[in-house]
A and B are shown apart, each in its own frame.
Chain A
Amino acid sequence: KQEVTQIPAALSVPEGENLVLNCSFTDSAIYNLQWFRQDPGKGLTSLLLIQSSQREQTSGRLNASLDKSSGRSTLYIAASQPGDSATYLCAVRLNTGNQFYFGTGTSLTVIP
């Protein structure tokens, strides 16, 4: 079974800081990896989907990287804003099967 770990569980930074969120997984035979954002009491919003053949994906101030061999992905957020405050989840899909395996998330607070 794929185990997905996100460290730290919580992070607090001042506005304007660049930051990195980490995601690690135990089985490197992945098909793709997806980063989500979840606001309190809300559903999950997809941020970036990175295929196993890709090294990184970018959307605005967000950049996700993938290193399959080391079982790691990072989500880089540039020039953080208070509106970025949320829980960030990563999910990994294996080459076999139909489901994604989720980490427990990193709760981010950006202080004005």
Chain B
Amino acid sequence: QTVVTQEPSFSVSPGGTVTLTCGLSSGSVSTSYSPSWYQQTPGQAPRALIYSTNTRSSGVPDRFSGSILGNKAALTITGAQADDESDYYCVLYMGGGANWVFGGGTKLTVL
């Protein structure tokens, strides 16, 4: 079974830039997987950030951007702020039986 991989944790300095990635245990991520990204703070529901690889969800600041970098999907946060400290999840559409698979999430620390 294919696993969606994310860095377990990452840290960034306030004002800095960080790129989180979303890969596959076997194979490369492409736009056909329609990667999307979600932000979740403790005790809260997830919030949609990016869909279809690089389209920002409504109300999401342009500090957040999505792309394909090499063989992975990527979420880049520029000008990191304290309230960006959250868990970030990617999800890939695996096709076939219409199967969406989430990555394990990346815990981002801003310090």
User: Do A and B come together as binding partners?
Assistant: no
Q: Which residues of B contact A (CB under 8 A)?
A: none
